[in-house]
Amino acid sequence: MLSGDLDASSVPALETALGQCSAGGADSITLDLSGLRFIDSAGLWVITSARRWCERRGHDFWLLPGPPAVQYVFEVTGLSDVLPFRVPGAPEQGAPRRSQRV
């Protein structure tokens, strides 16, 4: 679960974690945004980049929604309509895959 602020100073840590997921053989990544207080454009960039990276490799990519202030940023930018948000606890569809939750 991500926590605190997802901004220019914390993006490198998320990029490292995503790289470790890939190196570990995960073919499904879920980013849990529920512990975030704040997200800025750098945070949005790394999330959209991770999604594109997963799509190019045929990996699943999901987001678990953050608190209202965080979700508001996705709504204002229009990303809430294009990013794959999932309700926590909802069953995954399709064949079982090796998943990593960040």
pLDDT for 23 equals 79
More confident residue, 38 or 95: 38
The alpha carbons of the chain give a radius of gyration, in whole angstroms, of: 13
Task: Work out the pLDDT band at 57, boundaries 50, 70, 90.
Answer: confident
**The total number of structural domains that make up the chain:** 1
* Residue closest to 26 by CA, chosen among 56, 61, 1, 2: 61
| CATH number, domain containing residue 79 | 3.30.750.24
Distances (CA, A) of 55 to 44, 51, 68, 69, 83: 17, 6, 27, 27, 12
> Domain range spanning residue 94?
3-101
- Give the contacts of 65 (CB within 8 A, at least 6 positions apart): 33, 34, 71, 85, 87, 88
Which tens digit of pLDDT belongs to each residue from 7-53?
999 999 999 998 888 778 888 999 999 999 999 999 999 999 999 98
CA distance 81 to 102: 22
Which tens digit of pLDDT belongs to each residue from 61-77?
999 999 999 999 999 99
* Residue closest to 68 by CA, chosen among 19, 100, 95, 33: 33
pLDDT for 96 equals 44
Helix 11-23 to helix 41-57 angle, to the nearest 10 degrees? 10
pLDDT at 2 over 60: yes
